[in-house]
């Protein structure tokens, strides 16, 4: 697993952050193009030295597991900016916590990050090969960006999303939005608390009402799982296998 890293300026948010690009083992061997996964909280993906509380998504284990099953994505980890994380990952303002820069963050991904990745790496640019992924607040902004129009992301990996933020405004937003073609993975751990579990169930119901079914929506309640990177690390490889397997 080769990693490239670079700093990038966001004209939409007027700040700078790091981006890590993890390339498949086969990348240097040919000229084929690869699907791309854009993951939030990029510093939490593989390096315990910079990850939150030292826990990572264990990309070094998950990506070889996927490759053995014929799925080899480029993974783009967009670092959060620390103090601005909550504001950037929130598409709606919260009465107590503020925020609400999520639309600008979505534009940053779409207008700045993705064009740079597509220009510098052998990517497959179609929506079906472009995944947005995140957990907690990163799951919230990923869900929002999937339903935002227009969106180049035809797949969304949404783990333990913070549906509560902004008084649950994401749910009526989804209900009003058009129903984009694509696939969704949504999950929650049963040990994350009753409110988080109930919010995930409510989100699943909204998605079902919009017409998503088993072939394009996988909803999972992970028994005993908590709200942490070490728990998400066990689930994301199979989630990505579902999202990037054509049907």
| pLDDT per position as a tens digit, 9-61 | 999 999 999 999 999 999 999 899 999 999 999 999 998 888 887 789 899 99
Q: Note the pTM of the prediction, 2 decimals.
A: 0.97
- Least confident range from 39-53, 67-81, 209-223: namely 39-53
Residue 139 lies in domain = 2-243
Contact by Cβ (8 Å): 125, 154: no
Cα torsion through 18, 19, 25, 27, rounded to 10: -130
Contact by Cβ (8 Å): 174, 143: yes
Across the range 151-156, mean pLDDT stands at 97
| Lookup result for tokens 């296998």 | 241
Whether residue 218 is predicted with pLDDT greater than 90 in this model: the reply is: yes
Per-residue pLDDT band for 247 (boundaries 50, 70, 90) equals low
| Lookup result for tokens 């980890």 | 77
Residue 183's pLDDT is 98
Q: What is the domain-level CATH number for residue 57?
A: 3.40.50.1820
* Positive or negative torsion for Cα 170, 171, 177, 182: positive
What is the rounded distance in angstroms from the CA atom of residue 12 to the CA atom of residue 87? 13
What is the rounded distance in angstroms from the CA atom of residue 14 to the CA atom of residue 12? 6
DSSP string over the chain? -EEEEEEEEETTTTEEEEEEEEEPTTGGGS---B-EEEESSGGGSS-TTTSGGG----HHHHHHHHHTTT---EEEEE---GGGHHHHT-SS-BTTTB---HHHHHHIIIIIIHHHHHHHS-B--SGGGEEEEEETHHHHHHHHHHHSSS-S--EEEEES--TTHHHHTHHHHHHHS---SSEEEEEEETTS-HHHHHHHHHHHHHHHHTT--TTTEEEEEETT--SSHHHHHHHHHHHHHHHTS--
Domain count, the chain: 1
| pLDDT tens digits along 98-127 | 999 999 999 999 999 999 999 999 999 999
Residue 222 has which token pair? 């992970």
Contact by Cβ (8 Å): 147, 91: no
Tell me the pLDDT of the chain averaged across its residues.
96
| pLDDT tens digits along 179-212 | 999 999 999 999 999 999 999 999 999 999 999 9
C-alpha distances in Å from residue 132, one per residue of 37, 70, 128, 145, 203: 6, 20, 11, 8, 17
């Amino acid at each position: 697993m080769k990693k490239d890293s670079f700093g990038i300026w966001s004209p939409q948010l007027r700040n700078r952050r790091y981006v890590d690009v993890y390339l498949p083992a086969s990348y240097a061997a040919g000229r084929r193009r690869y699907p791309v996964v854009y993951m939030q909280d990029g510093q939490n993906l593989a390096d315990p030295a910079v990850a939150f509380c030292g826990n990572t998504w264990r990309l070094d284990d998950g990506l070889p597991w996927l490759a053995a099953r014929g799925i080899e994505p480029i993974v783009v980890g967009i670092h959060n900016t620390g103090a601005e994380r909550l504001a950037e990952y929130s598409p709606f303002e919260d009465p107590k916590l503020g925020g609400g820069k999520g639309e600008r963050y979505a534009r940053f991904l779409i207008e700045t990050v993705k064009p740079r990745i597509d220009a510098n790496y052998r990517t497959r640019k179609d929506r079906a090969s472009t995944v947005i992924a995140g957990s907690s607040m990163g799951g919230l902004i990923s869900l929002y960006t999937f339903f935002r129009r227009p969106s180049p992301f035809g797949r969304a990996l949404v783990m333990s999303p913070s549906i509560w933020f902004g008084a649950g405004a994401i749910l009526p937003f989804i209900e009003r939005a058009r129903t984009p073609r694509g696939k969704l993975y949504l999950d929650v751990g049963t040990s994350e608390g009753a409110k988080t579990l109930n919010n995930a169930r409510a989100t699943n119901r909204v998605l079902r009402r919009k017409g998503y079914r088993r072939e394009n929506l996988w909803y999972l309640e992970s028994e005993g799982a908590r709200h942490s990177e070490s728990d998400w690390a066990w689930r994301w490889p199979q989630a990505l296998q579902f999202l990037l397997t054509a049907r």
